[in-house]
Amino acid sequence: MSQPFFDALLHVGRPNLGDHDLFIKKIEGVLENRWLTAGPLGAEFEQRIAEVAGTRFAVATCNATVGLQIAARACGLRPGDEIIVPAFTWVATAHAVDWIGLVPVFCDIDEETGNLDPAQVARLIGPRTKGILGVHVFGVPCDIEGLTRIADEHGIPLIFDAAHGIGSSYRGKPIGGFGSAEVFSFHATKFLNSFEGGAIVTDDEEVAERARAMRNFGIGPDREVGSGGTNGKLTEAAAAMGLVSLASVDHFLAVNQANFDAYVEGLADVPGIRVRPLPLHPEDRCNLQYVVIDIDGEVAGIDRETLAATLLAENVSSRPYFSPGCHQLTPYRERPEVHAPHPLPRAEALAQRVLALPTGTAVTPSDVASICTIIRRTTT
Ligand code: T4K
């Protein structure tokens, strides 16, 4: 058997790491203070996240999944309410709301952006629809204007799963400040990580206050248990990591851009392969934390699974984010109430074509050039 091209496995989702010494210093401070969770670093992290998102409030959470649950409850959604979600997303979007008794109703997408198609959302609104949950998939902003119009028309909250969204912007304004609330993820594999973590960002003071209490068992500033709640607090170690990541965010963005450009250049003339994100609206920005190839198997002469296996043989890991569509996953496919009365052809088609490739600070443009050479060799 021949040697793989890379000596060690190149991962999708290798964490971006900030300054090592700064992190150790902050952890020493945490130990000295004996304040281990929801403490001063958490408060500082929240303030910095609100600045980046351009919002009045940020409520840090232990992860985005719990953050989405708290955001939905803080926006008034109750068990049994239907909430429209895209069929093309990570399963956490649907699980978060399903797990608290909401009914995720799967909606089709715009194949170019990969995000909720407002026209399809409008078709799905019914008497039980009490919210819309958009996802900025791969950091590409949703059609926020279109979704806001529908939510406003029907007087229902619009929440964004912005797990991929920090550092992206829509029409010049940072992702974070749209809808009733947006929720970031700071999972290890995300553009900006705090080991695990998340944040609910909003301009709505009442939503922020409710979310802050719900994150801490429903305990309000007066120590009264004023609402239901959960334990969604962020540890101080996670906040330390988050702050250290924030200090390097410009570097992470620059690396992502360089790697993305190298993929675009390296795969420019490969038939049947497009690099996502596709070109955006000129006033929008994407953090490029995911680079995903969109494979037209017939034109490329190779199917996604064979390409993934070929890459793996060369020590390049890849992930079919997000395949299959959420509505086709075991917990959802047999439940008629979560299925739109319309088919979901575009979500299903896109889910069959996508393959996420390594990027981030553990990957160099030269690695990317080699990955492109392997793909080129395999497809032509
Ligand atoms: N909404 C959306 C749209 C999301 O994409 C996500 C999460 C959420 C909501 C929920 O956010 P959180 O509750 O997680 O804050 C991963 C992540 O676990 C998940 O956070 C993420 N989306 C999803 C897209 O990807 P897996 O199962 O693919 O991850 P995993 O652990 O297999 O890691 C992927 C690769 O990263 C591996 O090749 C190894 C590498 N890796 C991973 C970790 C954890 C490392 O090199 N170091 C590490 O520490 O789901």
Which of 90, 116, 175, 363 maximizes ligand 1 atoms within 8 Å of its Cβ, making it the mutation to test the pocket?
90
Closest residue to atom 24 of ligand 1, CA basis: 90
Phi and psi, residue 342, nearest 5°: -110, 155
pLDDT of residue 106: 97
Atom of ligand 1 nearest to the CA of 198: 15
Where the chain has pLDDT below 70, the residues are 1, 341, 380
Backbone CA torsion sign across 321, 109, 160, 172: positive
pLDDT of residue 169: 98
List alpha helices for 268-339, DSSP H: 297-300, 304-313, 330-333
Beta-sheet pairing, 103-107 with 198-202? unpaired
Largest CA distance in the chain: 68
Atom of ligand 1 nearest to the CA of 319: 28
**3-state DSSP call for residue 195?**
coil
Residue 265 CB contacts under 8 Å (≥ 6 apart), including other chains: 372
Q: How far is the CA of 13 from the centre of ligand 1 (A)?
A: 7
66 touches 198 (CB < 8 A): yes
Report the first-to-last Cα separation within the chain, whole angstroms: 22
Q: How far apart are CA 163 and CA 186, in angstroms?
A: 8
pLDDT of residue 1: 61
Q: What would the two tokens of residue 350 be?
A: 């896109």
CA atoms within 13 A on the CB side of 170: 21
Q: How far is the CA of 189 from the centre of ligand 1 (A)?
A: 5
Q: How far apart are CA 111 and CA 114, in angstroms?
A: 5
Instruction: State the virtual CA torsion across 244, 247, 248, 249 in degrees, nearest 10.
Output: 110
Summarize pLDDT for 317-351 with one digit per residue, the tens.
999 999 999 999 999 998 888 877 678 999 999 99
List alpha helices for the chain, DSSP H: 20-33, 40-53, 64-74, 91-98, 118-124, 144-154, 205-214, 236-247, 249-266, 297-300, 304-313, 330-333, 345-353, 365-379
**3-state DSSP call for residue 137?**
helix
Q: What would the two tokens of residue 236 be?
A: 């101080």
Question: How many helices, marked H, and strands, marked E, lie in the chain?
Answer: 14, 12
Residue in the block written with tokens 């994407």: 286
User: Nearest 5 degrees, angle CA 250-CA 242-CA 246?
Assistant: 15
Q: How far apart are CA 7 and CA 26, in angstroms?
A: 34
Q: How far is the CA of 188 from the centre of ligand 1 (A)?
A: 7
| Count of residues making up the chain | 380
Q: How far is the CA of 196 from the centre of ligand 1 (A)?
A: 10
ipTM over 0.85: yes
Q: How far apart are CA 36 and CA 48, in angstroms?
A: 19
Phi and psi based region of residue 11 (left: phi greater than 0; alpha: psi -120 to 50; beta: remaining): beta
We find that the CATH architecture of domain 20-247 is: 3-Layer(aba) Sandwich (3.40)
pLDDT of residue 103: 96
Question: Percentages helix, strand, coil for the chain, rounded to the nearest 5?
Answer: 40, 15, 40
272 touches 299 (CB < 8 A): yes
CA 258 to chain centre: 21
Closest residue to atom 48 of ligand 1, CA basis: 188
Atom of ligand 1 nearest to the CA of 66: 13
Residues touching ligand 1 (Cβ under 6 Å) are 11-15, 63-65, 89-90, 92-93, 135, 161, 163-164, 185, 187-189, 198, 317, 319, 321
116 touches 67 (CB < 8 A): no
Closest residue to atom 35 of ligand 1, CA basis: 13
Q: How far apart are CA 277 and CA 260, in angstroms?
A: 9
Summarize pLDDT for 137-179 with one digit per residue, the tens.
999 999 999 999 999 999 999 999 999 999 999 999 999 999 9
> One fold for both 20-247 and 249-379?
no
Q: Return the domain boundaries, the chain.
A: 20-247, 249-379
We find that the CATH architecture of domain 249-379 is: Alpha-Beta Complex (3.90)
Q: How far is the CA of 152 from the centre of ligand 1 (A)?
A: 33
pLDDT of residue 339: 78
Q: How far is the CA of 187 from the centre of ligand 1 (A)?
A: 6
